[in-house]
Amino acid sequence: MTNELNPSKRLLMGPGPSDVHPRVLRAMTTPLLGHLDPEFLTLMNETKDLLKVVYQTENKLTIPMSGTGSAGMETVFVNLVEPGDKVIVGVNGLFGERMVDVAERCGAEVIQVTAPWGEIIEPASIEEALLQNPGTKLVAVVHAETSTGVMQPLKELSDIVHKHDALIVCDMVTAIGGIPTEIDKNEIDAAYSGTQKCLSAPPGLAPVTFNDRALKVIFNRKTKVQSWYLDLSMIQNYWNDERFYHHTAPITNVYSLREALRVIVEEGLENVFARHKQYGVALHAGLEAMGLKLLVKKEHRLFQLTSVLIPEGIDDVAVRKQLLSKYGLEIGGGLGALKGKVWRVGLMGYNATQTNVTQFLAALEDVLREQGYESEPGAGLRAANNTIKEQVTV
Amino acid sequence: MTNELNPSKRLLMGPGPSDVHPRVLRAMTTPLLGHLDPEFLTLMNETKDLLKVVYQTENKLTIPMSGTGSAGMETVFVNLVEPGDKVIVGVNGLFGERMVDVAERCGAEVIQVTAPWGEIIEPASIEEALLQNPGTKLVAVVHAETSTGVMQPLKELSDIVHKHDALIVCDMVTAIGGIPTEIDKNEIDAAYSGTQKCLSAPPGLAPVTFNDRALKVIFNRKTKVQSWYLDLSMIQNYWNDERFYHHTAPITNVYSLREALRVIVEEGLENVFARHKQYGVALHAGLEAMGLKLLVKKEHRLFQLTSVLIPEGIDDVAVRKQLLSKYGLEIGGGLGALKGKVWRVGLMGYNATQTNVTQFLAALEDVLREQGYESEPGAGLRAANNTIKEQVTV
């Protein structure tokens, strides 16, 4: 017989999933409604409205797709791209690389604009690519690169892309609920995200949003969308007033997303962003006070995800294993080009708290010391606390 | 402010989702583990092992895909089919039609073998199609057609398909956990299913299984799988010992599936099948004793889903609305060709009980009487009870 489910206690401070808010866990025990029950249709509308608040958009087509964040990525590309389309992708981390792969599988001619992992994509490089590739249909970048901790500035880029009559598409998996996405103000034409980062819900849904410019492209396609499961021309008829059955919505995941969004809207979006910033900056100060270096320069750092360079001679895996076994604390390793070179530390949603900054810095200091890396005792904690105090008194 | 989640009490006796087992709901409140946590990897292995028991297979590649049942359908086709491949689909209901659409989006040349909705696909018709279309790569049928309530016999069909060197693929969304699927005994090469029917878990995962013959086809593809999200050549490297990160697994959904499978294995697969049969047959007897006609003839009826012909002059929607408003009881309407012609009544998993048969027949008798359909008071209940008694004493 298989044992009862009884996992060890964890504090999830990696690149996601992060810990789920207790109210969200509780919402998931609610018995199901049918996917066409009038009461469920009301919950769907409420979820859309809450998503619009958190995405900072009025886009009518703002819905959760029935898959994880990567299904959101695929949704954007299979619906907007047709074979032969020119697509420019900004690649400065793993998720840019993934977009290239997904776009190519849609038959796109992909032009990569690269930057070193840990840096932003310069708007000027995108403009150059647009000039060299007239007729480009869309430009895709990652707003919050989960593999590096880089925050990509969007407004200037968006203006350039629109000047060249292309669409701008953003990966906002780690952005949503952590930093302002400003879909409307930034004039982002389409975006996708996930639930398991700053929304503090379990993975399983991919909130997407499309503005009218993007919808026009979808409705003027010459070919069928290659994915039946992600075909928005059908799915929108379930999420709008037609309520036409497409596939059975993941009811419980919708419950969880709705509750997660309620929690955020109750706290207030601006307060949520301020909290991420406050503790993110404190974490950065703490790490630097311990003599550690961060991968990303200050002006391009995310608050919700921080890449720390692994000090020379320190064993990546040993540190992460010990954090997990001794403290139940999970952080992430590096991916791709950064494998073995960085640790990734998340302070996402429900987890962005004073307690977690403290717990992490104290645990890291202890484990690093055991692994032979010395830092002034308590220096990280003091620096973090001072930074928090300064921000509060400002 | 959006209200607290507080849906009305429902008894879900439609075509799915069905009610979730309380143990499964409770499992979903368990805090997350990371998707690469050693403890989660153990839970994944256990989930695979339990799935193999319920699918009655030794197939190594037996895993839940991160989407609903329709994502399972798409998984099978995008991985097995390449542009230009000949695919025969048995179409005797909505889900056969959907397979045609999905296969065509993969570039397949689709040959439809049709039968009236409510009847099985005759193995002889498939053989004829195979003879007329040499080089056919795969044949797809629906084991338990959720739109009609038909149970498709598989063994003879499977032998014919293999004689012609093709693969046989089955939609088992409503079959799994309700009737024997016998993947190995029936030599089914690939199958997909959902969690929200007889497994009594919420929708959100699609358990799939592929045997070595199907895997060989996948590994000898000439083209890339058109879906990155559903590409098994990558996903299997996360679910096997390599543990290579692909996308963040929907942790909570995996918890829920594992618990649902534990519940089934604890009851015993044979007992679970016997229970579905016992109460399904009782429901059929009860409905017929009320003078109602069933769509499917006796030897091809599912036990877990029953299509009842709507009596002449009775308003489809009015009956369903009243069942919902007066009894909180959901049944399904007809789809496609059967819209307005049948009701679909589910007795799935946790819901296949004496109490629910009784509740449904009593409520239906009451509501039909209010709508002008008279039947002998209590005749349905008596017939159902007698049928249950007879089966127990046999």
* Tens-digit pLDDT profile for residues B301-322: 999 999 999 999 999 999 999 9
Buried b (16+ CB within 10 A) or exposed e, A185-212: ebbbbbbbbbbbbbbbbbbbbbbbbbbe
Which amino acid, one-letter code, is at B135?
Answer: G
**Would an 8 Å CB–CB cutoff place A293 in contact with chain B?**
no
Last residue of a domain, one of B232, B265, B298: B265
Q: Looking up tokens 């699609």, which residue turns up?
A: B206
Given B9, B29, B256, which is nearest A26 (Cβ)? B29
d(CA A85, CA A110): 8
Q: Is residue B124 part of a domain?
A: yes
Contact residues, chain A, for B37 at CB < 8 Å:
7, 10, 324, 330
**Would an 8 Å CB–CB cutoff place B242 in contact with chain A?**
no
The beta strands (E) that lie in chain B are given as 11-12, 61-65, 86-91, 109-114, 138-142, 144-145, 150-151, 167-171, 190-192, 206-210, 305-309, 329-330, 332-333, 342-346
Cβ of A42: how many Cβ atoms within 10 Å?
A: 13
pLDDT score of B391 more than 90: no
d(CA B311, CA B318): 13
Residue B55, domain CATH:
3.40.640.10
Q: Which residue of A has its CA nearest to B107?
A: A226
A74 and B227 within 8 Å at the Cβ level: the answer is: yes
Q: Is residue B7 part of a domain?
A: no
Residue A304, domain CATH:
3.90.1150.10
Cα distances (angstroms) measured from residue A32 to each of B177, B326, B350: 19, 18, 13
Q: Is residue B66 part of a domain?
A: yes
Instruction: Characterize the bridge pairing of strands B190-192 and B206-210.
Output: antiparallel
Residues A280 and A238 in one domain: no
**Would an 8 Å CB–CB cutoff place A305 in contact with chain B?**
no
d(CA A268, CA A55): 13
Residues B261 and B355 in one domain: no
Last residue of a domain, one of B223, B246, B265: B265
B37 and A324 within 8 Å at the Cβ level: the answer is: yes
Q: Is residue B4 part of a domain?
A: no
Q: Report, as an integer, the average pLDDT of B209-235.
A: 98
| SS3 state at B90 | strand
Tell me the pLDDT tens digit for each residue of B79-124.
999 999 999 999 999 999 999 999 999 999 999 999 999 999 999 9
Supply the pLDDT for residue B393: 60
Supply the pLDDT for residue B390: 87
d(CA B345, CA B336): 17
The residue among A5, A53, A221 with the most chain B CBs within 10 A of its CB, best to mutate, is A5
A20 and B37 within 8 Å at the Cβ level: the answer is: no
Residues A119 and A257 in one domain: yes
For Cα atoms B245, A77, A46, give the angle at the middle one, nearest 5 degrees: 90
In Å, how far is A235's CA from the nearest CA of chain B?
12
Which two tokens mark A97?
């690389």
Residues A101 and A73 in one domain: yes
**Would an 8 Å CB–CB cutoff place B245 in contact with chain A?**
yes
Last residue of a domain, one of A250, A265, A280: A265
Residues A289 and A221 in one domain: no
The residue among B26, B247, B256 with the most chain A CBs within 10 A of its CB, best to mutate, is B247
Supply the pLDDT for residue B45: 97
Q: Is residue A277 part of a domain?
A: yes
Tell me the pLDDT tens digit for each residue of A7-48.
999 999 999 999 999 999 999 999 999 999 999 999 999 999
| SS3 state at A345 | strand
B28 and A31 within 8 Å at the Cβ level: the answer is: no
Residues A181 and A275 in one domain: no
**Would an 8 Å CB–CB cutoff place B378 in contact with chain A?**
no
Given B16, B202, B228, which is nearest A105 (Cβ)? B228
Q: Hey, what's the torsion of the CAs at A183, A184, A188, A190, to 10 degrees?
A: 70
Supply the pLDDT for residue B1: 82
Residues A259 and A295 in one domain: no
**Would an 8 Å CB–CB cutoff place B221 in contact with chain A?**
no
Residues A259 and A322 in one domain: no
* Residue positions forming the annotated binding site of B for substrate: 344
d(CA B224, CA B207): 22
Please name the helix (run of DSSP H) or strand (run of DSSP E) that holds residue A45, with its range, or none.
helix A38-55
Cβ of A241: how many Cβ atoms within 10 Å?
A: 8
Tell me the pLDDT tens digit for each residue of B257-288.
999 999 999 999 999 999 999 999 999 999 99
Supply the pLDDT for residue B394: 52
Q: Name the B residues in 104-143 with CB < 8 Å from any A CB.
A: 104-106
Residues B186 and B229 in one domain: yes
Beta bridge partners of A255: none
Tell me the pLDDT tens digit for each residue of A333-360.
999 999 999 999 999 999 999 999 999 9
Residues B84 and B143 in one domain: yes
Please name the helix (run of DSSP H) or strand (run of DSSP E) that holds residue A210, with its range, or none.
strand A206-210
d(CA A207, CA A173): 9
**Would an 8 Å CB–CB cutoff place A19 in contact with chain B?**
yes
Q: Report, as an integer, the average pLDDT of B21-33.
A: 98
* Domain count of the fold of chain B: 2
Instruction: Characterize the bridge pairing of strands A167-171 and A190-192.
Output: parallel
Supply the pLDDT for residue B115: 98
A102 and B228 within 8 Å at the Cβ level: the answer is: yes
Q: Which domain does B177 fall in, by range?
A: 22-265
Supply the pLDDT for residue B41: 96
Residues A196 and A181 in one domain: yes
Q: Is residue B13 part of a domain?
A: no
Q: Name the B residues in 35-64 with CB < 8 Å from any A CB.
A: 35, 37, 39-40, 43, 46, 49-50
Q: Are B361 and B290 in contact (CB under 8 A)?
A: yes
Per-residue pLDDT of chain A (394 residues; tens, 9 = 90+): 899 999 999 999 999 999 999 999 999 999 999 999 999 999 999 999 999 999 999 999 999 999 999 999 999 999 999 999 999 999 999 999 999 999 999 999 999 999 999 999 999 999 999 999 999 999 999 999 999 999 999 999 999 999 999 999 999 999 999 999 999 999 999 999 999 999 999 999 999 999 999 999 999 999 999 999 999 999 999 999 999 999 999 999 999 999 999 999 999 999 999 999 999 999 999 999 999 999 999 999 999 999 999 999 999 999 999 999 999 999 999 999 999 999 999 999 999 999 999 999 999 999 999 999 999 999 999 999 999 988 866 5
Residues A301 and A227 in one domain: no
d(CA B197, CA B201): 8
Please name the helix (run of DSSP H) or strand (run of DSSP E) that holds residue A390, with its range, or none.
helix A379-393
| SS3 state at A18 | coil
| DSSP string for residues in B27-89 | HTTSPPPPTT-HHHHHHHHHHHHHHHHHHT---SEEEEESS-HHHHHHHHHHHH--TT-EEEE
Q: Is residue A157 part of a domain?
A: yes
Which amino acid, one-letter code, is at A48?
Answer: K
d(CA A309, CA A374): 15
Contact residues, chain B, for A256 at CB < 8 Å:
252
**Would an 8 Å CB–CB cutoff place A349 in contact with chain B?**
no
**ipTM value > 0.90:** yes
Beta bridge partners of B65: B206
A19 and B31 within 8 Å at the Cβ level: the answer is: yes
Q: Is residue B12 part of a domain?
A: no
Contact residues, chain B, for A67 at CB < 8 Å:
66-67, 71, 229
**Would an 8 Å CB–CB cutoff place A161 in contact with chain B?**
no
